[in-house]
């Protein structure tokens, strides 16, 4: 909570017990599109439901310690694995979405779901993703969709302004759900020297996605589409707002960013550059923000007190970032909310 107002976090990822990854090993090792046991109401071999519940309970305790009331959870982006063989990817995607739905069922007042999609960079367009999107929204009650700007990791995916994306944009506009843009793995061999180098893919692909979408005509074609780019957009612009290098158009009703940036200088600059009206609270807690801030002794993803103390924000600004903006852009948060002031 923040001053009696619930804190809504647009950036979270499903928590599963370690043994759940055995499913992926079986899928890849057998080269077979194994059905999701959770879809069939069965337990996951080698992992009990109680272990899934314990993983979800640890996640909830982590949010409690950071004053986060409701979190939008989706896949763990570095585990989306869009580079795997096309006949395996739908099975893996379905299983991941089933785990997200299960965690939301365990704690319906704390989590709402965002789906993974079986994106194939080499397909003619994203029509192949629509059946899983429909399942997740209509049957599982998900309220958003994750996409990777380059799921194959080879920079061969069409830019997010191109017709390849139009079937998904049309579907999400019709369903009134936002798209969450998050980078995934990069297979660029130069990245090998950097540990956890998927983070480099996050920065580059999220920034490029924002540039492509803003300079293209996506929102002229799909005026009700809402897009959230994670990690404050990946990188900031170095030009002043009136510079022609930037798209000279109003994107305030369509393009948004989350606050999942842990360096205080970067976070402050991101809020100032993007604008409060386009900034949504997001932490990725628990995730990559577990380094300890020396000045507080708290993890860097403990962002409620950080944003609450930024001197350039008004009280109305803070309430907008923590609650009003997330609820406006992701109306599905209302599923988990009780009566509000």
Instruction: Give the C-alpha separation, 142 to 100, whole Å.
Output: 9
Is 90 exceeded by the pLDDT of residue 2? yes
pLDDT for 241 equals 93
Do 101 and 56 form a contact (C-beta atoms < 8 A)? no
In a domain, residue 209? The reply is yes
- What is the maximum alpha-carbon separation in the chain? 57
Over range 65-90, report the average pLDDT: 96
pLDDT for 339 equals 67
Is 80 exceeded by the pLDDT of residue 296? yes
Strand 279-280 relative to strand 144-147, pairing: unpaired
pLDDT (tens digit, 9 = 90+) per residue, 92-103?
A: 999 999 999 999
The structure tokens 């976090």 sit at 9
Is 90 exceeded by the pLDDT of residue 340? no
pLDDT for 111 equals 98
pLDDT for 70 equals 98
pLDDT (tens digit, 9 = 90+) per residue, 207-260?
A: 999 999 999 999 999 999 999 999 999 999 999 999 999 999 999 999 999 999
Is 60 exceeded by the pLDDT of residue 57? yes
For residue 307, the enclosing domain spans: 8-17+49-336
Instruction: Give the C-alpha separation, 100 to 106, whole Å.
Output: 10
Instruction: Give the C-alpha separation, 2 to 323, whole Å.
Output: 9
Backbone angles phi, psi at 109, to 5 degrees: -95, 0
Is 70 exceeded by the pLDDT of residue 38? yes
Do 230 and 196 form a contact (C-beta atoms < 8 A)? no
pLDDT for 34 equals 94
Whole-structure pTM value:
0.97
Do 74 and 114 form a contact (C-beta atoms < 8 A)? yes
In a domain, residue 33? The reply is no
Instruction: Look at the chain and count its residues.
Output: 341
Over range 138-164, report the average pLDDT: 97
In a domain, residue 24? The reply is no
Nearest CA to 227 out of 204, 210, 207, 202 is that of 210
Number of domains in the chain: 1
In a domain, residue 78? The reply is yes
Is 90 exceeded by the pLDDT of residue 289? yes
pLDDT for 338 equals 76
pLDDT for 314 equals 98
In a domain, residue 331? The reply is yes
Is 70 exceeded by the pLDDT of residue 341? no
In a domain, residue 3? The reply is no
Is 70 exceeded by the pLDDT of residue 37? yes
% of the chain exceeding 70 in pLDDT: 99
In a domain, residue 35? The reply is no
Greater pLDDT, 82 or 341 = 82
In a domain, residue 150? The reply is yes
Three state DSSP letters for the chain: CECCECCEEEEEECCCCHHHHHHHHHHHHHCCCCCCCHHHCCCECCECHHHHHHHHHHHHHHHHCCCCCEEEEECCHHHCCCCCCCCCHHHHHHHHHHHHHHHHHHCCCCEEEEECCCCCCCCCCHHHHHHHHHHHHHHCCCCEEEECCCCCCCCCCCCCCCHHHHHHHHHHHHHCCCEEECCCCCCCHHHHHCCCCHHHHHHHHHHHHHHHHHHCCHHHHCCCCCEEECHHHCCCCCCCCCCCCCCCCCCCCCEEEECCCCCHHHHHHHHHHHCHHHEECCCCCCCCCCCECCCCCCECCCHHHHHHCCCCCCHHHHHHHHHHHHHHHCHHHHHHCCCCC
Peptide bond into 268 cis (omega under 30): no
pLDDT (tens digit, 9 = 90+) per residue, 184-196?
A: 999 999 999 999 9
The C-alpha angle 207, 86, 128, rounded to 5 degrees, equals 75
The CATH number of residue 195's host domain is 3.20.20.140
Instruction: Give the C-alpha separation, 5 to 76, whole Å.
Output: 28
């Amino acid at each position: 909570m923040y001053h009696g107002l619930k804190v809504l976090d647009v950036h979270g990822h499903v928590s599963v017990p370690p043994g759940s990854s055995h499913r992926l090993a079986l899928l890849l090792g057998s080269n077979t599109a194994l059905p999701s046991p959770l879809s069939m109401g069965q337990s996951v071999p080698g992992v009990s439901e109680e272990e899934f519940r314990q993983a979800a309970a640890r996640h909830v305790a982590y949010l409690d310690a950071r004053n986060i009331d409701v979190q939008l959870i989706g896949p763990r982006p570095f585990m989306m694995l869009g580079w795997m063989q096309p006949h395996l990817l739908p099975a893996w995607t379905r299983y991941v979405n089933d785990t997200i739905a299960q965690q939301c069922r365990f704690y319906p007042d704390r989590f709402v779901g965002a789906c993974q999609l079986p994106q194939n960079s080499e397909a003619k367009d994203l029509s192949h993703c629509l059946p899983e999107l429909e399942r997740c929204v209509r049957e599982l009650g998900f309220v958003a969709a994750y996409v990777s700007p380059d799921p194959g990791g080879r920079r061969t995916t069409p830019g997010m302004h191109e017709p390849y994306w139009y079937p998904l944009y049309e579907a999400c506009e019709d369903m009134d759900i936002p798209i969450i843009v998050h980078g995934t793995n990069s297979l660029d061999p130069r990245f090998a020297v950097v540990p956890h180098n998927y983070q480099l893919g996050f920065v580059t692909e999220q920034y490029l996605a924002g540039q492509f979408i803003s300079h293209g005509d996506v929102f002229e074609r799909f005026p009700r589409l809402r897009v959230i780019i994670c990690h404050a957009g990946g990188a900031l612009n170095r030009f002043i707002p009136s510079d022609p290098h930037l798209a000279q158009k109003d994107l305030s009703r369509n393009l948004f960013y989350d606050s999942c940036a842990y360096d205080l200088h970067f976070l402050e600059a991101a809020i100032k550059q993007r604008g409060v009206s386009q900034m949504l609270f997001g932490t990725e807690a628990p995730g990559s923000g577990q380094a300890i801030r020396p000045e507080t002794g708290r993890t860097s993803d403990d962002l409620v007190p950080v944003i609450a103390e930024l001197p350039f924000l008004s009280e109305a600004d803070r309430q907008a970032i923590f609650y009003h903006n997330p609820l406006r852009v992701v109306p599905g948060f209302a599923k988990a909310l009780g009566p509000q002031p």
